[in-house]
Structure formats: structure tokens, C-alpha cells
Chains A and B, each alone.
Chain A
């Protein structure tokens, strides 16, 4: 009875937590555009959401899942349910999203203070929070898809928030279009899943005794594998029937889901929108494009994880690994502060996908949670730095890009708190001990090595690449920190006459930084700072009891990662603070490859965008010249037919009638001439006619 009441209470709290930001968005929508109340309405809503989420989290975590649903609509015999599914994964995400959103809201009240459309900003932000919170708790694939779209849509609104900037408009279009590619994948996957399982219920398909666990590929069919059947299968049985589809559809469904994940979580073929999305306000980048929305892809993977088969997981690992490596190499040479962080986000998301691929399910989600904190923190720091640079730029009418790190330097004395929190976040991102990043990232690396052990030697490439990527991470993060906070202020060196007034800012800036910085340290996640297995979060998400053995990797990996990372940090310190010389040739092939982001954008431009544009202009030409031309031809033909008809009508039909009339008239006129009223004339005419008659009579 007690658990039942708890369940009801949790469900109510969850609904309230999800709906509060929506209410805030609605209220803000009705407020005047410049109203300062909007910020506080949204912040209070998200604070309440946060508290409620924490209550729900405390109730559900490591307890049996709570699942409530009711019939939403019925089509024919098919009943579609809608409801809420609370298990460890969803309550973790619920808490994570609201906890990350809270400091971002507080920060935004100060950051967006002078914006023209202050209340619109908070409308969008609250709407985003609502979509994301709803996304993580819904139990139906249809609702999931709907909120998935809403998340993409609100991201679109926020990227293009400063829509007067041409770049922002381009970026939000790009993000939206690339996300549409993923949405198509998700939609087709949902359709295939419904064809196979005849239900949209996530719990029935992917839950603990879900149908997906029992399925496999056999004889070219995607069907039930008898020896997967557990004993307690009965409860699941009644709820869905299973047909055997050809195996191809399983591959298509997984490919669709992968496409969706790649689009939302910015994985290799579809990652290019994320760096451009940095055109939005920095606080938005922190919330959406670093911490929460991009995690939706990983969350989706976590939800549908049971349906992937071995080969697909390997492909996933390869792509995650490649993305992580590629993004890290790009981040090495970028000069735009937010772009570096964006590529770092892509790289870390690659790590999460890699972890999913190698079966490190719990580590992946663990990294998702830790990454959210430190990446959000890094973005907020970047926001403060950019804000200060913007002030200098505006005060002194300088022609600089406020996001370019090559102008910065020595800011640690001017922005002490920002500096300290940035260092904590950076260390967590590198994965040094005593931070949360150490726990999650080393977990992924260790499990990747263990995974490759039992396989072909080629599979070793994946963990080795991941290892190299984590060293690259150390280097680019160090470059960022040293260039921004150490050395001397390069802008001041170039323009000696300016007097910058810099500061950390008021409590709306500092409080979120401190909050997030505390969350980046190990005690929040584990009391043992060195072993990821003891993190409560990891234990709560572990799917199997398979306990990682005390393998050789457990000591080797962290040591090698940390020692080499520290060496790289030292090297970066030497290079970037002393500025003795540039470490790498600035025009080598690899430099250009990295600086131009592997030419992927150029490739897409050439291979997809230009052909599409050309196709568009061809279609336009066809439309203009052939279809319109045909219509114009028709118009002209019917016009000339009409003209011909008009001519015929006027000259032939009317002409005939006029002729008749004219004949009649002339006859009449001719006859009228006789009616002259002169009596003698009548008489004379009569005489003539009579005479004529006589003459005729005589002649005939």
C-alpha cells in the first residue's frame, strides 16, 4: 500500500515538474516583450521542477519502476496508450535536466538583461525545459517522437534567437534541417517497431522483461529466439503479439535510430550543425547544446538499447570513436572560444556513443551526467568571458571578434572566480582524478579495452583511438585555459591605451558557477575518487551483474591517461603562456585539415548543399519555363482561339445579321423613296408599272 501511494505521489510530482515550465512559458508568452518578470517566472518554475524532480528521484531511484498509462486514442482495434514511465534512467535524466537548467536560468536573468526580447527568451527557454522534461518521462514512442520534435523546434528558436544576425539564421536553418534527417530515421524506426511489436509502449518493448530482449535474427528473420525466453514471460505476453519480419527491417530500424541519435547528439555524419549552433546566446549553448538536448540522442540509445545486436553495437562504437577523435583534432586548432567547446562536446558525445557500443551502458549514462555539469560550467564561463570582451569592444569601438581566444589572456587576475571554476571544469573534462570526469571517462576507457580483449586485434584500434582522443582533449582544454586565463592580455598589448574594467559579475553570474563547480567534483558521485564502479550512479544503471574484474587495465589506463595528460598540460603551459614559439607549423596539411574542420562542411556544401541548390534552380527553371511555359502556351492558344471566336462572332455571325439588316434597310429605304407624299408621283408610278405590265404581256 505504501509503495502504491509513493508511486501515485511520484507520478503527480512528475507531471507537475514537467508542466510547470510549460505554464511559465505560457505566462511569459502573454507578458510584454521587455518585461523583467519573465526571468523570475521561469526561474521559479524551474526551481519548483527541480525540487519536485529531486523528490521523484529520491523515491524511484533503485526502487521498482513506476509505470502508469491510460488509453489515449483507439484506431480500429489498436489502442494507443499514453503515460509516464519512471525508472532509474528517466528519473536521472529528469533530475539532471532540471538541475542543469536551474543555474542556467539564474545566469540568463543577468546575461540577457539588456536584450530587447527578454521575455521571449525565457518563453523559449521554459518551453525547451518542458519539452526535454517530458521527453525523458513519456512511455509511448509516439509521445517520445512528439517531444523529440519539440526539443528540436525549441532549439531552432533559441539558436536563431538573434535572428537579425545572418549567421544565426543560417545556423538555425542548418540545425533544423540536419535534425529533420534524424527525425525521419526515428519516425521510420517507430513505424517498423510498431509493425513488429504492435505497440508503442516503451516499457513493453524495451523494458526489463521487454519483448526486445527476446528477439533476435534467425534464418534471415527478425523473430523470437526461443532460448532467450525467460520463465516469467507471461506478463509481457498478453500485451503485444509478435510477427516475424525479415531481418532487413531490424537493420533499417536500427539505422533509423542511429540516424536520430547522430542528428541530435551530433555524431559523425550529421555533427556539423552543433558548432554553428553556437550562434545562439551562450546560456542557451550551455543548456541545450552542451548539457541537455544533445544528450537526448544518448538517452534515446539508452531507452532502446536492448534492440541492438552485436554487429550494430560495434558499428556504433566505431562511429562514436571516430567522432570523438575527429572532433578532438578539430578542437585543437579552432580560435573561437565557443567553437572549441562545441567540438569538445561532440567529442565527449562520441565517447558516450562509443561507451554504448562497447556495452558500457552505465558508464555512458554516467558520463552523460558528469559531462552535463562540467560542459555547462565551461559554457557559462565562456559566456562571462565573451560578455567582458564584448564590453571592451563596445566601450572602445574595437573591431575584434569577442569570441576569438587569440585576443584574450591573463584573465585569471581579472576574473578570479571564473578562472577557478573554469579550471575545475577543465580538469573534469580532461578526466583528472578527484573530478567527476575522471570517474566516468576512465570507466569508458577501461570497459572499451576489456571489450576489445576478447576480439580480433583490429578491434584494439577503437580503445586506442579513444585513449589518444582523451590525450588530445587534455591538450586542447589546456590550450583554451592557458590562452584565455594565463600569459598577458593580448588585446591590451595591441591596444595599450584601453582601460578594461573586468569583473566576475553579480551573484546571478557567480552562484551558478559555484553550484556547477561543486557538481563537477567527485563527492557528488562517489566517495571513492578513484574507482568508477563504486559511483552510486553507475551502480544504479548497471544492467547486468557482470562485475568488471580486477584486470590489468584498471590501474594501467588511469595511470597512462593521467600521466600523459599531465605531460601534455605542462607542454601546453610552456607553449601558450611563454609563447616562445608556435608548436606546430601553421600551414601543414594536418593543421589545415583540423582548422577547416576536416573539410566536412565544404564536402557537404559541395556534395549535398550545392546539388540541392542546383536541383532547386533546375526545378525553378523547369517550373518557370516548362510548366509555366506550357501554361502560358495554353493561355496563348486559348487566347488566340478566343480572339478567333470573337472575330468570327463579330465579323461572320454579326456580319451576316448586319448584312441582313442592311439589305432589309436598303430595301426599306428603296421602298420608302416611293412614299414621297406627292400624289402625282404615285400616279405616275402606277402608270409606268401598268404600262410595263402591258409591255411584258405583249412581249411574253
Chain B
């Protein structure tokens, strides 16, 4: 039987992988993928904890809502990356240090 703990372990693993990708990848797309992984970890948690919800299926709904939002933000993020690429001819975040003091 699949328990809550298993979900949470998967979720934590996803989260850690996502976080690791976000911190270490040299490609903005891959970082974006990492962020999606973190988001999915959070959504998985939402779904998993939805078991305790008094209202029916609110966890799933909220997960759907978050997925939509994630899709929207991904689109925005891809657009930003596209613009960054146009401007800097690279999408390696280590090379884009305009924010430095």
C-alpha cells in the first residue's frame, strides 16, 4: 500500500533534484526545468495532503490550478530566456552578471 510517506519521499526527492538543477545547471532552460520539478514536488504534496481535506478534491483542484499557473509562468520564463538570448547571445546565467554591483 502506498502511504503518505512514500508520496512525501518522492516529493522531497523531486524537490531536491529540482533545487540542485536550479543551483547547478549552466543552461537557463535546464534551470527552468529544475524550477518545474520543484513546482511539481509542491503539487505532488498538495495532492498527497488532499487526503486530509474536508472539502472534496480541493487538493486536486488546487493542483490543477497550480499546473495552469506553472504553464503560464513557464511561457513567460521562456519568453524572457528568448529575450535574454537575443540580447546576450547566451543563456548561461553565469555569463549574465549585469545585476552585479
Residues of A within 8 A of B (CB): 672, 675-680, 683-684, 687
Contact = CB atoms under 8 A, between A and B. Distances in A.
A684 B23 contact: yes
A536 B97 CA distance: 132
Nearest to B22: A683
B23 A675 contact: no
A683 B23 contact: yes
Interface string B55-94: 0000000000000000000000000000000000000011
Given A684-B23, A687-B19, A687-B23, A677 B31 contact: no
B24 A677 contact: no
B19 A680 contact: no
23 contacts: A672-B101, A675-B99, A675-B100, A675-B101, A677-B96, A677-B97, A677-B98, A677-B100, A677-B101, A678-B93, A678-B94, A678-B97, A678-B100, A679-B93, A679-B96, A680-B22, A680-B23, A680-B93, A680-B94, A683-B23, A684-B23, A687-B19, A687-B23
B24, B31, B94, B96 pick with most chain A CB within 10 angstroms: B94
A683 B96 CA distance: 15
B20 to A, nearest CB: 10
Q: Is the interface of B mostly helix, strand, loop or mixed?
A: loop
Contacts, number: 31
Contacts of B99: 675, 677, 679
Contacts of B94: 678, 680
Contacts of A672: 101
B100 A680 contact: no
Given A678-B94, A680-B25, A680-B31, 11 more contacts: A675-B100, A676-B100, A677-B97, A678-B100, A679-B93, A679-B99, A680-B22, A680-B94, A683-B22, A684-B23, A687-B23
A675 B97 CA distance: 9
Interface string B20-45: 00111100000100000000000000
B22 to A, nearest CB: 6
A516 B31 CA distance: 138
A677 B19 CA distance: 19
Q: Which 5 pairs of residues, A with B, have the shortest CB-CB distance?
A: A677-B100, A677-B97, A675-B101, A677-B99, A684-B23
Nearest to B23: A684
A655 B94 CA distance: 40
A691 to B, nearest CB: 11
Contacts of A680: 22-25, 31, 93-94
B80 to A, nearest CB: 12
Contacts of A675: 99-101
Nearest to B19: A687
